[in-house]
Amino acid sequence: MTILTQRLVVDSAQLETLRSERRDLVEEIQVGDDKWEMTEGPFSSYKRQLVVQPGPDSTFEVEEQTEFKLAIPYWWPFVLPLMRRALSDTDRRPRKRWWWSDEVVTQNTAQLFGSLAVFGLISGYLGVTIGQTLTFAAEEFAVDESAQSQTLAAVRIGVVLSLIALWQGHRIGRRPMVIGFSLIAIVFSVLGAASPDLFALGATQTIGRGFTTGLISLVALSTTEEVPASSRAVSVSYMAMATAVGSSMVLLMLPLADLAIWGWRLIYVVPVIFLPLVRSAARQLPETRRFAAATQAKASDHIDKKRFAIIGFTAFALAMFISPASQLRNDFLNDDLGYSALDVSIFQAVIFAPAGIAMVLSGLIADRKGRRVVGSTVAIVGVATTAYSFQTTGLALWVAACVGAVSISAFIPVFRVYGTELFPTRARARAAGWVDLIGVAGSALGLVIVGWLSTRLGGLPPAIATMLIPASLAALVFLFFFPETAKADLEAFNPSDPKVETPTRLSEPQSQGSTPVSDHDSRQPKIG
């Protein structure tokens, strides 16, 4: 429980503002003389009270005490300083905050968001394990680049398993699927540590990676399905940051591969520590309100073919470039440039270091200014600089790879939010499964083509460059054919879905009787 106490000297107009029911970060109801409690907000408990004494010269001395406990599990320490400052602001007018929604966030949403971010972190680790370690496993198994590309391509077949499960998403629910997918992915990742050959490693990771891909989609889907309209893209960006944190954990573990020729196996054992975390997060993860409402109403599950086509093509074409560029980079650094496992770990950590900030910025801009221009711009910059990073060395390599990694990272959450926005609730999981399958098909095809071309064109650099063609087409499709969805409720694009009651928007006026204080008002309260 956090107790926030502040002492103020105010005039009568400012006192009236303090005595009004808040409608910004929380919706209050008055429960007594100068006492308020929460009717809606991101807190598991909340109350506010004033103690007012007459002051000199028609002023009042006010002590305001706010007691609250954030309903965001695990991640609340990052939000608490910002929330304390916002709640202590005596200007109670609605305003935009870069770190928070333009609407009042419900307790259910806050709890779901914090829990989902844990599953996002887990999916990040599991999703990049084989891509980051295969070059070292290949040394133990004595296989060439072509075999590695074929293995990475074959692993993607596992997405069919998650598609079958996601097909029943409208019946099973988001919560049980998130929990189940994470457990299956962890188990098969750990089994990879005991692989006697490349085939066995590929087989275990085919299942693990398939359910990890589904888990990533479920996390993004559940997030955008629950959060307010003004913050869908940035919320997915925060989830992508959690996923990136999980991915970076693999990079931190990568030096284990230098301990011995079998050292890479240790990286596959690490997910065992996630099991208690899954149990804890599962207890706090609620179901999304939209899923519950759509299930009760038996809403339509129709998938619009045009919307599905543009999303599917973009996922396919971009995956043809992104997958070989990211998953074969370690092989390029290790074999072509002579980087050790530690060198590769440092390189990857450096180029992805600014990615988190870029994700948040792109999500904020996409929510405020629109999705299409932001998404297409970072996509074009990302694929161009990433391709160039395979054609150069030294400082130019590091700079180009960093710009590419940051730009592509900024694009992914902007693109992912469309998978929720453009399909009705009872069809979202099924559509997400198909888009995953299409994206994986593009990924597998890109890996096979790049692997085949690398043996005929003299290496990875010219092979990667050929994948610029489909990637550029995807960016153009995104710019010219995707609808703009920023700030609109999901039901605006899916009218067959039942309307879910949303909290007050911060753009709405305050309750009657409140007297907002201007930013430039000379009568601002004095901090006592």
pLDDT beyond 50 at 514: no
Give percent of the chain with pLDDT exceeding 70. Answer: 95
Return the structure tokens found at 404.
């590419």
For 107-484, CATH number out of 3.40.718.10, 2.60.120.10, 3.30.420.10, 1.20.1250.20 equals 1.20.1250.20
pLDDT beyond 60 at 507: no
* Residue 498 contacts residue 293 (beta carbons within 8 Å): yes
* Residue 179 contacts residue 285 (beta carbons within 8 Å): yes
Least confident of 72-81, 224-233, 311-320, 509-518: 509-518
Local structure of residue 332 (DSSP, 8 states): I
Q: What is the pLDDT of residue 167?
A: 86
pLDDT beyond 90 at 461: yes
Return the structure tokens found at 265.
């196996």
Of the two residues 94 and 107, the one the predictor is more confident about is 107
Cα–Cα distance measured from residue 212 to residue 182, given in angstroms and rounded to the nearest whole number:
7
Of the two residues 121 and 516, the one the predictor is more confident about is 121
Query: What would the mean pLDDT of 216-221 be, rounded to a whole number?
Result: 94
Of the two residues 248 and 123, the one the predictor is more confident about is 123
**Where residue 503 falls among pLDDT bands split at 50, 70, 90?**
low
All structural domains of the chain with their residue ranges: 2-92, 107-484
| 355-359: long-range pairs with CB below 8 Å, 24+ | 355/244, 355/405, 355/406, 355/409, 355/410, 356/241, 356/244, 356/245, 358/406, 358/407, 358/409, 358/410, 359/237, 359/238, 359/240, 359/241, 359/244, 359/409, 359/410, 359/412, 359/413
**Where residue 515 falls among pLDDT bands split at 50, 70, 90?**
very low
Q: What is the pLDDT of residues 321-342, one digit of tens each?
A: 999 998 889 888 988 898 888 8
**Where residue 2 falls among pLDDT bands split at 50, 70, 90?**
very high
Which stretches of 142-231 are DSSP H helices? Answer: 145-155, 159-166, 169-172, 174-191, 198-226
Q: What is the pLDDT of residues 350-380, one digit of tens each?
A: 998 898 889 999 999 999 999 999 999 999 9
Query: What would the mean pLDDT of 102-131 be, rounded to a whole number?
Result: 94
**Where residue 502 falls among pLDDT bands split at 50, 70, 90?**
low
Q: What is the pLDDT of residues 9-37, one digit of tens each?
A: 999 999 999 999 998 899 999 999 999 99
Q: What is the pLDDT of residue 251?
A: 85
pLDDT beyond 90 at 519: no
pLDDT beyond 80 at 508: no
Q: Is 443 helix (H, G, I), strand (E, B) or coil?
A: helix
pLDDT beyond 50 at 523: no
**Please, what is the average pLDDT of the chain?**
90
Q: What is the pLDDT of residues 22-78, one digit of tens each?
A: 988 999 999 999 999 999 999 999 999 999 999 888 899 999 999 999 999 999 999
pTM for the full predicted model: 0.86
Return the structure tokens found at 500.
């879910």
Q: What is the pLDDT of residues 143-162, one digit of tens each?
A: 887 788 788 778 878 888 88
Give percent of the chain with pLDDT exceeding 90. Answer: 71
Return the structure tokens found at 131.
């891509």
Q: What is the pLDDT of residue 525?
A: 44
Least confident of 4-18, 155-169, 398-412, 450-464: 155-169
> What is the CATH number assigned to the segment(s) 2-92?
3.30.530.20
Q: What is the pLDDT of residue 510?
A: 38
Q: What is the pLDDT of residue 148?
A: 84
